Structure 1
Amino acid sequence: MTTTIPDPFAPTTLGPVQLRNRIIKAATSEGRSPEGLVTDDLIDFHRSYIRGGAGMTTVAYCCVSPEGASAPGQILMSQQALPGLRQLTDAIHAEGGAISAQLGHAGMVASKKITGVTSMGPSKFINPSSMEYCRAIRREEIPLVIEQFGQAARIAVDAGFDAVELHFGHNYLPSSFLSPLLNRRKDEYGGNIENRSRFVREIAQRVREEVGDKIAVIAKISMDDGLPGSIWLNDSIRTAQLLDEDRNLDALELTQGSSIIRQMYLFRGDVPVADFAAVVKEPMKTGVRLFGKLALGSFPYRDLYMLEAARQFVPVMKHTKLILLGGINSREHIDTGMREGFDFVAMGRGLLREPDLPNRIREDATVTGRCIHCNKCMYTVYGRTHCVMDPDSHHGVLAPESSPYAVDRTRLLPLAKV
């Protein structure tokens, strides 16, 4: 534990980037790019968090390839998207803030209904949420995916982003390689944790080679994914140690949970089964009502619910800064993270409820966020993600059947996260 608590609202650095404070808006599903391109609505969404006091906001899930999409309407990091991405970063910089692009490949979390191709993972697998077959990625395809991450990072630099966040969590493609349950390979990418960590290390290295010291490089990694026999702390700490030794990352954001099953392990709190059932058709509607809570899992919410696991990583990191996520809703929570040795805190649902929460906390240390962790924001990803308590954002809750978002309604849970 550190003896001096940094001022979370004082300027600081993240790699080559100067941030005005240590508060990061975590990547959350947005639903504001229905054609996979930046819209004014998306710009306003992120601008609200910078105006509300966050030091940096994160654009959720920018695909490194078309087959890497986890939900309809996600931005593909491409030349076509570049002009809009530049407008987005310019708007954030004009407000005095910084912006990061989360780069990901969904792997076995992807659906053929969305991408048009069979999803892939380290080994063959049946996704229990979609009941779709996932094939094993071929050895010669692995360098291609690594290069896709590198080229996506290049787009981020050209678009003016201050950072990229490599999505190594939630059993997406890189994360699935880390899991002994999902990765049963016999080559150099399978077996012990050093081999299973090879893929994420090579992605981080390729991205750093591409961006140099122009922008910061963050990785989001699952400490544990909540699946028996899968990723747990003993292995994820070793992966973090290897990434730290490589010195290709500026920060690690520590998360938990899986996007395959028992998704509530990431979110904690209420399970809005009835709300999910209301937005899907039969026979899925009945299935969600009967088995939704069992499939999603039920885990009680508590403040700072990831801290117990995340503090295990503090003594391991020698070069890489740490970002604390999960149940941060007050100045006391932020100061606890700083006191425990974390360099930044990331806030998701709390800011979705109140984009100006950082400003309010800075002005009055007794302020506590209004998010009640009802998790009803989760089903709004079928349209425009928003807090249902916000009377100004009730429009656009659901996408029309003609929208690409309607495809997602055949699934048990939206694959984008909040």
Structure 2
Amino acid sequence: MTIDLDPPKVKIDPLAPARLGPVTLRNRVIKAATFEGLTPKGLVTDELIEFHRRPAAGGVGMTTVAYCAVAPDGRTAPGQLQWTDETLPGMRRLTDAVHAEGAAVSAQIGHAGPVAASKYIGHPALGPSRQFRMTTQNFSKPATKADIARITEGHVQAALRAIDAGFDAVEIHFGHNYLISSFLSPRVNKRKDEYGGSLENRARFALETARAVRDAVGDRIAILAKLNMDDGAPGGFWLDESIQVAQWLEADGSLDALELTAGSSLLNPMYLFKGDAPLREFAAVMPQPTKLGIRLVGKHFLKEYPYRDGYLLEDAKQFRSRLKMPLVLLGGITNKAVMDEAMAEGFQFVAVARALLRDPAMVDKIRADETTRSLCNHCNKCMCAIYGGTHCVLNPRPADPPARTS
């Protein structure tokens, strides 16, 4: 008798139901968090609800509301959502609308830290250390231990409010050099206390926050985290350290899944997106002197990277080989073939952003015809639309998928 030492992998259908912590999703496709720019007064609007209802009606397993700040100083814009008693009724209307279409809904929670625009939100931007941000021309203020404790508790309260508002999951933001991600980065974090220096110290904030949220919510809601694999900047957070942090998070058992991302809103924002860098469009929507700066030196900050489907897969595979926990693949998920490839490589979920802006019904169209491909051309002009309501500039008012009747 022969024994197959390398049995074939079970083929996983990305459009079949899947378990995420305590939640069962109708498929493995998640609409990734994409800042919507649809809450000018910091409250849920009908436009925000419709923004998430459309992909829900179009077939996604779960949509993610972004970005929900855990404190007033954690916002990147004055009208950004934050968790207060005043926002809860609107949040409940949103979750009810998504659930009515048969999808689950997640809330991305976090603190912008040095990415916050202090002169617009009326609060100093916090960071692990003093840091100048070119796009807003201001310095961040080093977070005190009291700030760290306050913001950790802010994440706890946000998750508890998410339960009250009917969310199925929360996604903790450990990416893009937002506050907790900036603590992870050796380039940004120059602290000399127990939150700086060694990787163990730099990861302390992330691990403490994830554990505090899990202790507070138990298994009443799924908990994901979005973790940078690579800041895309010399001297920043890199794969070897990120894999170790992911292993610590897995060992702690605080997360139900990890979504892998890349890039730094402080140091290299285009590193995540790949494709065109829309310099002219960014300059057009920015105030002075940022507008002039983008025109003069923008090409050195908003760099272009070639696009290909599944462009984060090769780096993400290094995490898959070192971890057992469920992983979410992000980046260039535009058709069934790349979804199938992700499943074959052992990823449990895929996250889609720009392709669903182009066509919120993409998932249902793929279900009807597996050869369907996204019409997104990766021009990235949608990035500039966040200041007036995020949308695909090629299809500013897409036809709504029909509401589901069952």
- TM-score under structure 1 normalisation? 0.91
> Which residue, out of 367, 371, 393, partners 1:388?
393
Instruction: Tell me if the contact between 1:261 and 1:296 (Cα under 8 Å) persists in the aligned partners.
Output: no
Count of residue pairs brought into register by the alignment: 393
Distance in 1, Cα, partners of 2:289 & 2:62: 42
Quote the residue 2:56 is aligned against: 50
Instruction: Tell me if the contact between 1:321 and 1:342 (Cα under 8 Å) persists in the aligned partners.
Output: yes
> Which residue, out of 108, 112, 122, partners 2:114?
108
Distance in 2, Cα, partners of 1:352 & 1:256: 20
Instruction: Tell me if the contact between 1:101 and 1:163 (Cα under 8 Å) persists in the aligned partners.
Output: yes
Post-superposition CA distance 1:118-142 (Å, at most 9, x none):
1111111111222211111112321
Q: 1:362 to 1:208 in 2, by over 3 A?
A: same
How big is the shift at 1:113? 1.6
Distance in 2, Cα, partners of 1:132 & 1:393: 38
Post-superposition CA distance 1:7-36 (Å, at most 9, x none):
111111100001000000000011111111
Quote the residue 1:32 is aligned against: 38
Post-superposition CA distance 1:196-251 (Å, at most 9, x none):
11110110011111211111000000000111001000000000000000001000
**Superposition CA RMSD, Å:** 1.5
Distance in 2, Cα, partners of 1:222 & 1:214: 26
Distance in 2, Cα, partners of 1:299 & 1:71: 27
How big is the shift at 1:296? 1.1
Post-superposition CA distance 1:333-390 (Å, at most 9, x none):
0000000010000000000001011111111111111000001111111101100111
Distance in 2, Cα, partners of 1:391 & 1:122: 39
* Matched residue type, 1:275: E
Question: Identical aligned pairs, as a percentage?
Answer: 55
Quote the residue 2:295 is aligned against: 289
Distance in 2, Cα, partners of 1:285 & 1:203: 36
Structure 1 segments unaligned to the other structure (5+ residues): 395-418
Quote the residue 1:60 is aligned against: 66
Quote the residue 2:76 is aligned against: 70
Per mean C-alpha deviation after superposition, the further-off stretch among 68-77 and 1-10 is: 1-10
> Which residue, out of 154, 159, 175, partners 1:153?
159
Instruction: Tell me if the contact between 1:129 and 1:261 (Cα under 8 Å) persists in the aligned partners.
Output: no
Instruction: Tell me if the contact between 2:176 and 2:231 (Cα under 8 Å) persists in the aligned partners.
Output: yes
Per mean C-alpha deviation after superposition, the further-off stretch among 214-223 and 307-316 is: 307-316
Quote the residue 1:19 is aligned against: 25
Q: Given the alignment of the two structures, is residue 361 of structure 1 paired with residue 366 of structure 2, yes or no?
A: yes
Distance in 2, Cα, partners of 1:204 & 1:142: 13
> Which residue, out of 186, 196, 216, partners 2:202?
196
Secondary structure at the counterpart of residue 166 of structure 1: strand
* Matched residue type, 2:259: E
Secondary structure at the counterpart of residue 107 of structure 2: strand
Distance in 2, Cα, partners of 1:324 & 1:239: 17
Aligned positions of 1:218-367 closer than 5 A: 218-281=224-287, 283-318=289-324, 320-367=325-372
How big is the shift at 1:96? 1.0
Q: Given the alignment of the two structures, is residue 179 of structure 1 paired with residue 185 of structure 2, yes or no?
A: yes
Secondary structure at the counterpart of residue 139 of structure 2: strand
Instruction: Tell me if the contact between 2:70 and 2:154 (Cα under 8 Å) persists in the aligned partners.
Output: yes
Secondary structure at the counterpart of residue 277 of structure 1: helix
Q: 1:134 to 1:366 in 2, by over 3 A?
A: same
Post-superposition CA distance 1:73-103 (Å, at most 9, x none):
2111111101110111111111111000000
